[in-house]
Amino acid sequence: MPVQSITASEFSDIVSVDSIGKYVVIDVRTPEEFAEGNVESSHNLPVAELADALAKSEDEFKDTYGFNLPAPNSTTMLVVYCRSGNRVRRAEGILAQAGYIDNLLAYYPGWLEYSTIVAS
């Protein structure tokens, strides 16, 4: 089952203040890319670390990444983005194998598109 993709407008709505608690937004780029610019409400979890991160206990995950990851069967939606979409596709596969299907959304155009929208 393919992961549901979202538009820039939908992504903007998700990262707005009134969506906090309904969504967890994860930037799967490198920490260096994340430091250069990111969505204010997002958390950095590089795709290269994703499989290992999912194997951590809840406490270990929070200590390492600074946020709570919703369970695969949670009503909290997990939203992933990267620079342009390539790493999101890799992240989707890893997350789908871990059971994130019904509560997973992907923003493919990623930071390249969103950063131009925010800047304008």
- Give how far Cα 115 sits from Cα of 9, 61, 63, 70, 104, Å: 13, 28, 29, 26, 22
The architecture that CATH gives domain 4-119 is: 3-Layer(aba) Sandwich (3.40)
Residue ranges per structural domain of the chain? 4-119
pTM, two decimals, is 0.92
| pLDDT class of 81 with cuts at 50, 70, 90 | very high
Residues 2-37 pLDDT 10s: 689 999 999 998 988 667 779 999 999 999 999 999
82 carries an active-site annotation? yes
Catalytic residue chosen out of the listed positions 82, 88, 91, 105: 82
- Position 83 scores a pLDDT of 96
Q: Is the dihedral of CA 97, 98, 102, 108 positive or negative?
A: negative
Residues 40-77 pLDDT 10s: 889 999 999 999 999 999 999 999 999 999 999 899 99
